[in-house]
Amino acid sequence: MPRAVPPYLAVYLKPRMVLMAVLGFSSGFPLALTGSTLRVWMTKAGIDLHTIGIFSLIGLPYALKFLWSPFMDRFVPPWLGRRRGWIILVQFVLLVGIGGMGFISPGYSLAALACLAFFVAFGSASQDIVIDAYRTDLLREEERGAGAAASVFGWRIGALVSGAVALILSDLIGWQSTYLLMAGFMIVGIVGAVFAPEPDTAVTAPMSMTEAVCGPLADFFSHRSAWMLLIAIVLYKLGDAYAETLTSVFYIHLGFTPSDVGKITKSLGLVSLLAGAAIGGSLMVRLGLFRSLLSFGVLQLVSLLSFTVLAWIGKSYAVMAFAVGFENLASGMGTAAFMALLMALCNRRYTATQYALLSSLAAFGRLAVAPTSGYVVESVGWVGFFTVAALMALPGLLLLWHLRADIIGIAGRQARPLP
């Protein structure tokens, strides 16, 4: 590797970063095919809105994936190792399931399509479990930020292909051919998993299902600040997520057209998010986990205040573009650090279960506060709402500072057996 390349950039030249992007692509790819893309297909087929709304329950496996993650920790497929074996199996199942959806028209057999879509969602959630576990097992401490950034990049590209690209193709080649073509994209992840390396450290799987279920909890709560760490996980991106619940509505209220919102948020927002993740991953090599979490968290808080400025000024394309770009840049940086924190907290013996539980906990916290957003806007207006969202980020930062010694100590932790 050339000496002229700084360490914070050289980390992205490692082959395993390309692998993280490839597996990230596979992880983000199936989501739209059972979500937004499927809903558009149903709408074009004349399915009523009530039924389309019920189809949102297909996404339930993503919220409940921690329930069967111990199974994927406990049992090891007889091929390609503990994690890659599962990845190959699940991706093959997804390839068949997505292709099968193309043969069932919503207007022909809605129940059969619902069952198959749920099956794909279950497979996709299972893929997330094992890819998250593999990434955590594979990456060294100094690679976690960059690995998280590469995963985010791949995930977003995968979601773009199965969302926007699939919708464009549906007009050109029809829905059946589109879903068959989309199924073929799962080969990308399969090839990546076949040639992927095994983690440096061999880890023994749990010896029983009882250990697979109870061991991850016992291990995590062996941390002296376990409960406070859980609260920090819930709070870290809470303000960012709270503001996001109504940002699209906010733009329309200011007088921007849906086209304006789509062009600015989907183009500038995506580029800024990916840039933020890449920059965050690079800076983490120099800053370390704790300083990255704190500084990126502060940046997330400040970025939310840019929406307060936009709300105060009113309709302004320049200010909107700045707010969207700044917030997504900060969010991408914060996401890279947050994923690195989750990886650092996992014991490699129980990675699948612990990562699934921690990520689900963070999502639950965001879902718990989201329903209050409309009431807050009605009570204090848009300026007050985004100010409240920024203030919601403050407790998490204060708690991080309080836990600084614990996080610095945990950052370099290697896999260890239960005491």
Are residue 184 and residue 236 in the same domain, yes or no? Answer: no
Are residue 282 and residue 366 in the same domain, yes or no? Answer: yes
Are residue 53 and residue 105 in the same domain, yes or no? Answer: yes
The pLDDT assigned to 5 comes to 61
Domain presence at residue 209: no
Are residue 221 and residue 176 in the same domain, yes or no? Answer: no
Which residues have C-beta within 8 Å of that of residue 384, sequence separation ≥ 6? 376, 377
Instruction: Please work out, in degrees rounded to the nearest 5, the angle formed at the alpha carbon of residue 52 by the alpha carbons of 171 and 126.
Output: 90
The pLDDT assigned to 412 comes to 59
Q: Which of 200, 231, 249 is the last residue of a domain?
A: 200
Q: Which of 155, 173, 200 is the last residue of a domain?
A: 200
Are residue 121 and residue 83 in the same domain, yes or no? Answer: yes
Q: Write out the DSSP string of 34-82.
A: TTHHHHHHHHHTT--HHHHHHGGGGGHHHHHGGGTHHHHHH---SSS-T
Domain presence at residue 349: yes
Domain presence at residue 62: yes
Q: What gap in Å lies between CA 270 and CA 159, rounded to an integer?
A: 11
Q: What gap in Å lies between CA 321 and CA 317, rounded to an integer?
A: 6
Are residue 231 and residue 114 in the same domain, yes or no? Answer: no
Length of the chain: 419
Are residue 61 and residue 173 in the same domain, yes or no? Answer: yes
Residue 73, both tokens: 């920790």
Domain presence at residue 39: yes
The pLDDT assigned to 419 comes to 35
Q: What gap in Å lies between CA 336 and CA 296, rounded to an integer?
A: 9
Handedness of CA 306, 309, 310, 315 (dihedral sign): negative
DSSP annotation of 200: S
108 and 162 in contact (C-beta within 8 Å)? no
The pLDDT assigned to 418 comes to 35
User: Residue 47 sits in a domain of what CATH number?
Assistant: 1.20.1250.20
Are residue 228 and residue 336 in the same domain, yes or no? Answer: yes
| Number of C-beta neighbours around residue 210 at 10 A | 11
Count: domains in the chain: 2
DSSP annotation of 212: H
Residue 117, both tokens: 């879509």
Q: What gap in Å lies between CA 331 and CA 337, rounded to an integer?
A: 10
Q: What gap in Å lies between CA 269 and CA 402, rounded to an integer?
A: 32
* Secondary structure string (H, E, C) spanning 231-265: HHHHHHCHHHHHHHCCHHHHHHHHCCCHHHHHHHH
Are residue 249 and residue 352 in the same domain, yes or no? Answer: yes
Q: How far is CA 227 from CA 140, 156, 220, 289, in A?
A: 26, 32, 9, 19
Instruction: Please work out, in degrees rounded to the nearest 5, the angle formed at the alpha carbon of residue 220 by the alpha carbons of 214 and 222.
Output: 100
Range of the domain at 131: 7-200
Q: Which of 200, 231, 263 is the last residue of a domain?
A: 200
pTM score > 0.95 for this model?
no
Q: How far is CA 69 from the centre of its chain?
A: 17
What amino acid occupies position 124? S
**Per-residue pLDDT tens digits of the chain, which is 419 residues long:** 445 566 666 667 778 888 999 999 999 999 889 887 888 888 888 877 778 777 778 878 887 888 999 999 888 888 888 889 999 999 999 999 999 998 988 878 888 988 999 999 999 999 999 999 999 888 887 788 888 888 888 998 998 888 878 888 888 888 889 999 999 999 999 999 998 888 877 777 888 889 988 988 898 888 888 899 999 988 888 888 888 877 777 887 888 877 777 777 777 888 888 888 888 888 888 888 899 999 999 999 999 999 999 999 988 899 989 998 999 899 889 988 898 898 888 888 888 899 888 888 887 777 777 778 778 888 888 899 899 999 999 999 999 999 988 888 876 554 343 33
Are residue 86 and residue 146 in the same domain, yes or no? Answer: yes
Are residue 128 and residue 172 in the same domain, yes or no? Answer: yes
Q: What gap in Å lies between CA 271 and CA 385, rounded to an integer?
A: 26
Are residue 293 and residue 158 in the same domain, yes or no? Answer: no
Domain presence at residue 1: no
What amino acid occupies position 148? A
Q: What gap in Å lies between CA 287 and CA 284, rounded to an integer?
A: 5
Domain presence at residue 21: yes
| Number of C-beta neighbours around residue 172 at 10 A | 8
| Number of C-beta neighbours around residue 7 at 10 A | 11
Residue carrying structure tokens 């299972």 = 126
Please, what's the largest Cα pairwise distance for the chain?
A: 62
Which uninterrupted H or E stretch holds 118? helix 110-138
Domain presence at residue 210: no
Domain presence at residue 76: yes
